[in-house]
Structure 1
Amino acid sequence: MVNLKIDNIPVSVPEGTTILEAARSVNIEIPTLCYLKGMNEIAACRICCVELVGHDRLIPACDNVVAEGMEVLTNSHKVREARRSNLRLLLSHHDVSCTNCTRSGNCTLQSLANDFNMRGTHYPKKLLIDKADITAPLIRENNKCVMCMRCIQICEKVQTVNIWDLLGTGSRAMVDVSRNRRIKDTECTYCGQCITHCPTAAIRERDDTGRVYDAIDDENIVTVVQVAPAVRAAWAERYGLDAEFATPRRMAAALRRMGFDYVFDTDFTADLTIMEEGSEFIERFTHKDQHKWPMFTSCCPGWVRFLKSQYPELTDNLSTAKSPQQMFGAIAKSYFAEKIGVNPHKIFVVSVMPCVSKKSECALPTMKDACGDPDVDVVITTRELNIMMRANHINPVFLPEEDFDSPLGTGTGAAVIFGATGGVMDAALRSAYYLITGSNPDPDAFKSVRGMDGWKESVFEIPGAGEVRVAVASGLGNARKLIQAIKRGEVHYDFVEIMACPGGCAGGGGQPIVDGCELADERGSVLWRLDANDKLRFSHENPDVLALYKEYLTAPLGEKSHHLLHTDHHGWDMPTVVKN
């Protein structure tokens, strides 16, 4: 152990501990801006500078380790003035349009400026000419960049896609899309992890709330909204409410207050996805020589974009089943339109998703199967939902609990866990077991695929089918490791679930941002708890899904199901990586 003093408080910490972590261990807060533990410890911002007694030069606390007998001052006059100077310099290059910024009230730079009582402009503004493409699902605004390098580190170290890079030199240096490309021309997956790890609004999703308001206000349009499983674990975080109070039924009430005509649950089509994808897996598994292996899940558009750009030769390994979002849109503009007697062209489908990549998915040319219009018209993130709630003066504290509408509002516990890593695999195996054997397994029989490990694998014995080898990965860096192991012949699987975001949709790029905190595990636990407490825990027992097949689709993998619920992944192009 190393013994030192921080602000005259004796501290004892293991060797190799940084000054920052040592201070935090005794509840001494040192402000940071660029720091991400274990990911970005480059001392770029200099906000965490501290003073060592007996030394003239200030040092950053985030990348200097403790030493025996060290005496550290974290709040001396010299330290405070240095931090204020560093903040002034950062603000001189920052577009301080806080009143119309998506991160206002949740911006680390804004918080620091307030904490240090920064008022007025101390240096002439030197803003860059903004060339942001505001039509892309993911937008970068360089005038709000503080050069913390977090986006570069996340994209390189966690996702291994390397979209962002440091361009230029000296005073002209800036972070931008690598090789001076437009974001649309890159292999970006739109996972949004750069957004959730940015301390400002230098990277954000495209704001589509205006299109939603226009549809709600149009009396000639029937507005239908669906809400993804993972959203229910995070939608009320901004209000400080726990998941036990902020129930899905209160979320349904909030959406009704916004003016949507019908409020549905994507859990319904998550169950439908299991019926189609599970049946597809069984068909492939019983005709192994006719298919490529393993079969990959296809419900995560960020993962699909990654595979098509990085490993296009494996595209045929993807399940042809659409994602729950897209299945919902197709059913809403066909079956539901007929049921309520409305022209499908008059139905406007809005998705509330924990994901930025869903904005790209709904615009694919292969996602117009119901009536020729896009099956899903617009996607908003959980963050955009929060913005709309505030604009509509909706406080969930005072909302009653209300049911989702019928018939597309019923879901099972198996559907809820789509939002957590391992959930799709768990749910699919539950129903695959039933479809093969005619009896239900223990709903927790496949729990070994759960958890936050980046790459998990298991072997299950299903009577009548034999051994089924499965794997689950979350985070594209883990997906890359898994795929490379498959290609080298080191591992062999039958069924693989991959989610682009670490922890799955619960940690999605469209979820609320709590700077410096990774909440996928906590949010995922909410979803697993909802599953455990649900009366229905098998997708094949969803009564509304069974009614849909009886009244409209006939059977999984049937002709109508194939037309509406499956897709051709070769039907759209993705920039591919040039490999040396």
Structure 2
Amino acid sequence: MAKGIMYIDGQRVPFDGEKNVLAVIRKAGIDMPTFCYYSELSVYGACRMCVVEDERGKIDASCSMEPRDGMVIRTNTARLLKHRRMILELMLSSHCRDCTTCEKNGSCRLQELALRFGVRHVRFKDTRPHYEIDTSSPAIVRDPNKCILCGDCIRVCEEMQGMGILNFAHRGSDLVVCPAFDRKLGETNCISCGQCAAACPTGAITIFNEIGRGWRALHDPKKRVVFQIAPAVRVAVGEAFGLEPGVNAINKLVSALKMMGADEVYDTTFGADLTVMEEADEFLERLKKGGPFPMFTSCCPAWVKYVEEERPHFLKNISTCKSPMEMFAAVLKDQYARKDEEDGRTTYHIAIMPCTAKKMEAKRPEFQHDGKPDVDLVLTTQEIIMMIKESGIRFAELEGESPDLPFGMGTGAATIFGTTGGVAEAVARRVVEDKSKNTLQAIQFSGIRGSETIRAVTLPVGDRALRIAVVHGLVNAQKLLDDIESGQEYFDLVEVMTCKTGCVGGAGQPYGLIPVKQQRAEGLYEADRTALIKRSERNPIVTKLLEGALKGRTHQLLHVEYKRPDKA
């Protein structure tokens, strides 16, 4: 990898293997503006905001330049400032400028840079056509009128998820980002992962905001509002209030929700423990019957949607276990049915999730009973942050309180569900016969944890060695499926997370690059380290429920069979 010395604005800056000049500039402490540069994606070089000027006065985009020893560049000349202001003015001229009512108000990159570079007037007329806002998706909203044509969403969808739902269409001033044949998102095979919304620098693609429904429920005296909080949420929600990424803020979040009017607040780790118990039993049953293998995890709704739409021949391999969110919801609604009759209130169940695809999952007919959903509303981490801020709660100063019982108790195994490898590790803790502390450590250091996009480990179970794979990022899952189909790879159990790093990197979380997501994952591992109970089968409330109220009813309440959607 290239090494050397560059001179940036007169500053001597060493480089050692940086991807491009832009990375070296940022290493030097200069906040170079960009729209289309996303370090985890291929270099596009379209926005031209990151241009620099060399000794000869030549201007080029720093994101597409390789660093060279002895290179001399300027990043802040009068010519470059004029150039950047012109780009911003042109973008604003063709942009829907309803900033105060935009979902991205306050977090819009275009708004931020226009303010930073002092763009106060737009001299040019908007010649682009007006487009209809696309609200056909259950998870995300697309407003082409706010698109700056940076291409981030296109590359995320293609390079990270391998879906290719979005692309450029038409030419010149009619250029637009849209699905093929100008279809709506709801008419495509979009899996609702929301990573396009996470990458979008403006309000062109946003999470489907359902805060209004949440407030209406909280203010309705006829509703008993019950929350569940997913593992990944607790290590990210505090970032919006000055806490470091990875700080476990679940107790503060419980306090905030109670102040906002919640009747009861539970922990999704309870549902995750149920999932571990059921998934492990299903896996052991498959071992007895000889398959079908591999068994794929079913916790990620975007992954399940992908298999239904693109690889239906693998549906038989997907675990029949509902996700922790849906298991929890089914048990909650079942257990609260009599309570609703007694006090004349209706239980309204809100799930706080790191994932936009959970909005889609909650609306699936498989997760409804008598025409009513088990999860009435899914709010992302971003949405609950907005509600806390709207309430004026000083989140960082809250004392905090524990989730309510009986469904507020979870184990360390359930907590790590929020990061890549967590589900597989939790199931492994359940199925291995040796339950000693040394075995826990052996599983932990087997390679099941880590940041590699595809990881394979072998663990002994009984008289056989189990092959387990962990994959995150849907494009990597597709590669693994190809290898399994071709016979190049064989696995007994495969954990799939659509989003890179797992749920901690879900599109409903506050924006963060890989290092931030890794801090969140470490926060979950720390919670596991300090947990009194490490294995799901040792959760006394889960055990009591399975041996009591759910006995003989687990298949009805906790399992589902996925089928290819009817395209007719």
TM-score if structure 2 supplies the norm length? 0.94
The equivalent residue for 2:528 is 531
CA contact (8 A) 1:185 1:575 kept: no
CA distance in 2 between counterparts of 1:182 and 1:169 reads 20
Give 1:206's aligned amino acid: F
CA distance in 2 between counterparts of 1:326 and 1:90 reads 43
The equivalent residue for 1:573 is 565
Aligned-pair CA distance for 1:24: 2.2
Alignment of 1:97-496 (within 5 A): 97-126=98-127, 128-136=129-137, 137-242=139-244, 246-288=248-290, 291-338=291-338, 346-369=346-369, 372-433=371-432, 442-447=439-444, 448-463=447-462, 465-496=463-494
Give 1:367's aligned amino acid: F
- SS state of the match for residue 373, structure 2? coil
CA contact (8 A) 2:353 2:508 kept: yes
CA distance in 1 between counterparts of 2:393 and 2:457 reads 45
CA contact (8 A) 2:238 2:249 kept: no
CA distance in 2 between counterparts of 1:490 and 1:517 reads 30
CA distance in 1 between counterparts of 2:532 and 2:305 reads 36
CA distance in 1 between counterparts of 2:157 and 2:410 reads 34
Alignment of 1:552-571 (within 5 A): 552-554=549-551, 559-570=552-563
CA distance in 1 between counterparts of 2:221 and 2:495 reads 42
TM-superposition CA deviations, 1:91-112 (whole Å, max 9, x none): 1111222212222222211111
CA distance in 2 between counterparts of 1:145 and 1:162 reads 18
CA contact (8 A) 1:353 1:379 kept: yes
Specify whether residues 201 and 478 from structure 1 end up closer, same or farther in structure 2 by C-alpha distance, changes over 3 A only: same
Alignment of 1:19-30 (within 5 A): 19-30=21-32
Aligned-pair CA distance for 1:13: 3.1
- SS state of the match for residue 230, structure 1? helix
The equivalent residue for 1:543 is 540
TM-superposition CA deviations, 1:420-449 (whole Å, max 9, x none): 000001001111225xx6878733332221
CA contact (8 A) 1:413 1:530 kept: yes
TM-superposition CA deviations, 1:156-215 (whole Å, max 9, x none): 111101111011111111111233221112111111111111111211111111111111
Aligned-pair CA distance for 1:337: 3.3
CA contact (8 A) 2:420 2:472 kept: yes
Give 1:173's aligned amino acid: L
Aligned-pair CA distance for 1:263: 0.6
CA contact (8 A) 1:40 1:150 kept: no
More displaced 10-residue stretch of structure 1: 7-16 or 233-242 = 7-16
CA distance in 2 between counterparts of 1:562 and 1:328 reads 14
CA contact (8 A) 1:350 1:377 kept: yes
Specify whether residues 342 and 324 from structure 1 end up closer, same or farther in structure 2 by C-alpha distance, changes over 3 A only: farther
Aligned-pair CA distance for 1:131: 1.8
TM-superposition CA deviations, 1:293-348 (whole Å, max 9, x none): 11111010011011111211110111100001111111111123336765898211
Aligned-pair CA distance for 1:46: 1.1
CA distance in 2 between counterparts of 1:342 and 1:304 reads 38
TM-superposition CA deviations, 1:224-247 (whole Å, max 9, x none): 111111001101111121267652
Specify whether residues 194 and 282 from structure 1 end up closer, same or farther in structure 2 by C-alpha distance, changes over 3 A only: same
CA distance in 2 between counterparts of 1:283 and 1:3 reads 61
Aligned-pair CA distance for 1:22: 2.6
CA distance in 1 between counterparts of 2:197 and 2:238 reads 19
Aligned-pair CA distance for 1:127: 5.2
Give 2:86's aligned amino acid: S
CA distance in 1 between counterparts of 2:295 and 2:471 reads 14
Aligned-pair CA distance for 1:575: 6.3
Give 2:308's aligned amino acid: K
Give 2:557's aligned amino acid: L
Aligned-pair CA distance for 1:78: 0.7
CA distance in 2 between counterparts of 1:176 and 1:507 reads 25
- SS state of the match for residue 380, structure 1? strand
CA distance in 2 between counterparts of 1:8 and 1:174 reads 41
Specify whether residues 451 and 575 from structure 1 end up closer, same or farther in structure 2 by C-alpha distance, changes over 3 A only: farther
CA contact (8 A) 1:458 1:471 kept: yes
Give 1:490's aligned amino acid: Q
CA distance in 2 between counterparts of 1:243 and 1:64 reads 32
More displaced 10-residue stretch of structure 1: 159-168 or 331-340 = 331-340
TM-superposition CA deviations, 1:99-141 (whole Å, max 9, x none): 1222222221111111101113322234542322224221111
Aligned-pair CA distance for 1:521: 1.6
Give 1:218's aligned amino acid: D
CA distance in 2 between counterparts of 1:444 and 1:399 reads 35
- SS state of the match for residue 544, structure 1? helix
TM-score if structure 1 supplies the norm length? 0.93
- SS state of the match for residue 241, structure 1? coil
CA distance in 1 between counterparts of 2:553 and 2:345 reads 19
CA distance in 2 between counterparts of 1:77 and 1:100 reads 34
2:502 pairs, out of 501, 504, 513, with: 504
More displaced 10-residue stretch of structure 1: 32-41 or 488-497 = 32-41
Specify whether residues 97 and 363 from structure 1 end up closer, same or farther in structure 2 by C-alpha distance, changes over 3 A only: same
Specify whether residues 342 and 412 from structure 1 end up closer, same or farther in structure 2 by C-alpha distance, changes over 3 A only: farther
CA distance in 1 between counterparts of 2:384 and 2:128 reads 31
CA contact (8 A) 2:131 2:143 kept: yes
TM-superposition CA deviations, 1:260-292 (whole Å, max 9, x none): 11111101010011111111111111111xx32
Note the residue ranges of structure 2 that are not aligned, 5 or more in a row: none
CA contact (8 A) 1:43 1:63 kept: yes
CA contact (8 A) 1:228 1:353 kept: yes
- SS state of the match for residue 308, structure 1? helix
The equivalent residue for 1:50 is 52
Give 2:164's aligned amino acid: N
- SS state of the match for residue 404, structure 2? coil
Specify whether residues 17 and 452 from structure 1 end up closer, same or farther in structure 2 by C-alpha distance, changes over 3 A only: closer
1:76 maps to 2:80:
no
CA distance in 2 between counterparts of 1:160 and 1:416 reads 29
TM-superposition CA deviations, 1:446-485 (whole Å, max 9, x none): 222111111111111123x522111110110110011110
CA distance in 2 between counterparts of 1:497 and 1:47 reads 40
Give 1:169's aligned amino acid: R
CA contact (8 A) 2:246 2:521 kept: no
Could you tell me the percent identity over the aligned residues? 36
CA contact (8 A) 1:187 1:575 kept: no
CA contact (8 A) 2:50 2:63 kept: yes
Give 2:536's aligned amino acid: S
